Amino acid sequence: MDPHVSLGGPGDLASRIYRQLREAILDGRLRPGERLPPSRELARRLGVSRNTACTAYERLTAEGFLLPRVGAGTFVAEPTTPAGAVRRGAPQGRGVRPRPFWDDLPDTAESPEPPRYDFRVGRPDGDLFPLATWRRLLAAELRASTVRTSGYGEPAGHPALREAVARHVGLSRSVRADAGDVVVTQGAQQALDLVGRILIEPGDRVAVEEPGYPPARLLFASLGARVSGVPVDDEGLDVDALPSGTRLVYVTPSHQFPLGTPMSPARRAALLDWAARHDAVIVEDDYDSEFRFGQRPLDPLQSLDRDGRVVYVGTFSKTLLPMLRLGFLVAPASLRPALRAARRLTDWQGDHAAQAALARFIDSGELSRHVRKATRVYADRRERVLTALRGDLSDWFEPVPSAAGLHLCARLRPDVPVDLGRMSAEARASGVAVESLEAYCAEDRSRSGLVLGYGSIRAERVTEGLRLLTHHLATQVRETHRELDKALNYDFPA
């Protein structure tokens, strides 16, 4: 890569070139072993004499920054970066500021090294992904003839994938859709963003489940919506608790996130009726619906909708891999033009090669085979988690009934003296990563429990990891009891 050199600044031309190249080497922009352009080429590009460029190179060579090789060129010498050298970054002054909303968001950067016992939520097992098949399908879409004729495509997504998605969700979930109803997205989060962009004005009321999916709440708030949490019970969202003036309702009716309970038929009918009476839109997030471990799933809200008020959102992030960034939405006809326009204005179309490969993956039956195989693997891990919840952990937790997905929720039993936030931090220090139910509660912090994912942990580690978790729980309970006993037996002075 040719370095950028500016001829501005103090000193003669050779000194200016020398100084900028030296700075690029010291801060790491030019790395050891990289080849610099020939002095004749550099001089021509900068509009200076070749002697000026040679003078800068000779000075850098004399100081050990460059290494000339006869017949090969001039290279950055190794090592060149002294201890403590810092790569030059963007200006660090106060400058401009984002809206206050963005100042309060937590840093979600993760450690590159996963925990030994990973019970985190929403993480499929990458080892189950049929990599050889996917590589073959993707390579077929990157032929020279395909690349030669490529251009900007349809914002709604690759036509073959939209056809495949419509058939797939129609067969597997009874969703009523054809290719024209489908908009391909980069995961469910982009689908929510597109829906929010075309429907939400600043100040509009949006209702989400409580507890619920934090990224959805934060996304709608970032668009200027007033977000209200609506309680969830064993039948799903409490429709009677929806605030008046709500423009959009976000729900996960197949298995509520994070509790895992499905929305009852009566609640589904009530929610659809409520939306029709209040001129509201329902966003139905049907994540993880492919992985089922019992009982026939209820029909999605989209298939029951007769008024065109439900936007159905799905993703392949859990079915395949999050890194593929492939999802979709199925929208009523009244919203489709705006959704396609919003997609064009944001990232236009996504990766059409990956979309075409996924279409072939679905149409060939590979997706169904992969889901069946993965479901058997996840079922084994799920059963091991349930065994622990009904055994060693039963004194503290009660599992929430759930028949689908890649996690289980367990409520903390009443009067168990455990600080789950503190316990989770202590467990993480010993390699056990778990998430507390409170992390999914934005308004009602009275719910206590654990959300245990089993997507990315090997079956043989589930029992051992939960045994370590039991140890941390028992230790904290004993410490809490000792502290209570000390407080009760304390002799207060007269």
Amino acid letter at 188? A
**In 71-193, which ranges are E strands?**
73-76, 117-118, 182-185
Predicted pLDDT of residue 492: 45
Residue type for position 166: A
User: Do the beta carbons of residue 275 and residue 281 sit within 8 Å?
Assistant: yes
Query: What does DSSP say about strands 73-76 and 66-69: parallel, antiparallel, or unpaired?
Result: antiparallel
**Per-residue confidence in pLDDT tens, the chain, 494 aa:** 778 888 888 889 999 999 999 989 988 889 899 999 999 999 999 999 999 999 999 999 999 999 999 889 999 998 755 544 555 666 666 678 888 888 878 776 666 688 999 999 989 999 999 999 999 999 999 887 777 767 788 899 999 999 999 999 999 999 999 999 999 999 999 999 999 999 999 999 999 999 999 999 999 999 999 999 999 999 999 999 999 999 999 999 999 999 999 999 999 999 999 999 999 999 999 988 889 998 777 889 999 999 999 999 999 999 999 999 999 999 999 999 999 999 999 988 889 999 999 999 999 999 999 999 999 999 999 999 999 999 989 989 999 999 899 999 999 998 888 888 888 888 998 899 999 999 999 887 778 999 999 999 999 999 999 999 998 888 887 877 676 666 666 554 54
Residue by residue, DSSP assigns 323-358 as GG--EEEE--TTTHHHHHHHHHHHTTT--HHHHHHH
Query: How would you write 45-80 as a 3-class SS string?
Result: HHCCCHHHHHHHHHHHHHCCCEEEECCCEEEECCCC
Residue with tokens 């999802």: 327
Strand partners, 230: 209
pTM recorded for the entire structure? 0.85
pLDDT at residue 472 in the model: 87
The answer to whether 150 touches 352, Cβ cutoff 8 Å, is yes
Residue 451: partners with Cβ closer than 8 Å, 6 or more residues away: 121, 258, 407, 408, 409, 410, 434, 435, 436, 437, 439, 440
Cis peptide before 211 (omega within 30 of 0): yes
CB 319 within 8 A of CB 362: no
Q: Which two tokens stand for residue 338?
A: 């705006």
> Can you say whether residue 412 is alpha, beta or left, with left for phi > 0 and alpha for psi between -120 and 50 degrees?
beta
